[in-house]
Amino acid sequence: MSQNNEEEVLARIAKGLVYTETEAAFQAPQRRTDEIFEYNRTAPGEPDRRRALLEAIFGSVGERTVLLPPFHAGFGSKVHIGDDFFGNVNLTFVDDVEIRIGDGVMIAPSVTLTTTGHPVHPARRADFGRFSEPIVIEDKVWIGSNAVVLPGVRIGRGSVIGAGSVVSRDVPPMAVAVGTPARVLRAITDEDLKSRTAQA
């Protein structure tokens, strides 16, 4: 594929338009599948090796990052993670375009962050036709187990996504969102500082 054709495909991807596997094949060198495979085979007592692999896999990665293996990513290189991140087991990044995660984010087991969907009509899914839109997860977000975050979603600072939720639209800052599709249940307020009877 010529450079002009590559630029045209990238422009369509950036607009959230449908593109195919063949059209996007030139991006294959950005995949970090071997490094992800190696990371998932590391022992708990190899923090330095894990850190080096995370730096090789992700587009950027902050300090004090914990990501429990196994995890999965289509590319890896299109994921950007801030400081003080905790990701539990079976985290999946479908990162055909960028996933940006802020500081202090916590993600529970078996969560999927997918930037990519497929057209409803089967004729448009030929050659794995798809569309992609970036995901943004702002600082201090907590995402519960088995949640799915869909293309184009932004989750606002400090928000909580309930376990099993499917997040198909933006979530404002400091909100609890639950359900399928996820809807804002309530705001997070200073009253929540008193929950679980913990002393701060």
- Main-chain phi, psi angles of 183, to 5 degrees: -130, 150
Q: Which of 72, 80, 118, 121 is catalytic?
A: 118
Instruction: Provide the strand spans (E) within the chain.
Output: 60-61, 66-67, 71-73, 79-81, 86-87, 91-94, 99-101, 106-107, 112-114, 116-117, 131-132, 135-137, 142-143, 148-149, 154-155, 160-161, 166-167, 175-178, 183-187
Band the pLDDT of 199: cuts 50, 70, 90: low
Tokens read off for 11: 């422009």
Q: What is the pLDDT of residues 147-184, one digit of tens each?
A: 999 999 999 999 999 999 999 999 999 999 999 999 99
Confidence category of residue 1, pLDDT binned at 50, 70, 90? low
Q: What is the pLDDT of residue 197?
A: 60
Tally the domains of the chain. Answer: 1
Question: Which tens digits make up the pLDDT trace of 133-150?
Answer: 999 999 999 999 999 999
In 97-157, alpha helices (H): none
Q: Reply yes or no on whether 121 is catalytic.
A: no
**Helix, strand, or coil (residue 182):** coil
Residue 77 pLDDT greater than 80, yes or no: yes
Reported as a pLDDT band with limits 50, 70 and 90, residue 40 is very high
Tens digits of residue pLDDT in 90-142: 999 999 999 999 999 999 999 999 999 999 999 999 999 999 999 999 999 99
- Domain containing residue 102: CATH number: 2.160.10.10
Q: What is the mean pLDDT of residues 183-199?
A: 85
Question: What pLDDT band is residue 22 in, cutting at 50, 70 and 90?
Answer: very high
- Please, what is the average pLDDT of the chain? 95
Residue ranges making up the domain that contains 47: 3-197
- DSSP H helical ranges for the chain: 3-14, 33-39, 47-57
Q: 137 and 155 in contact (C-beta within 8 Å)?
A: yes
- In terms of Cα–Cα distance, which of 93, 85, 83 is closest to 33? 93
Indicate if the pLDDT at residue 198 is higher than 80: no
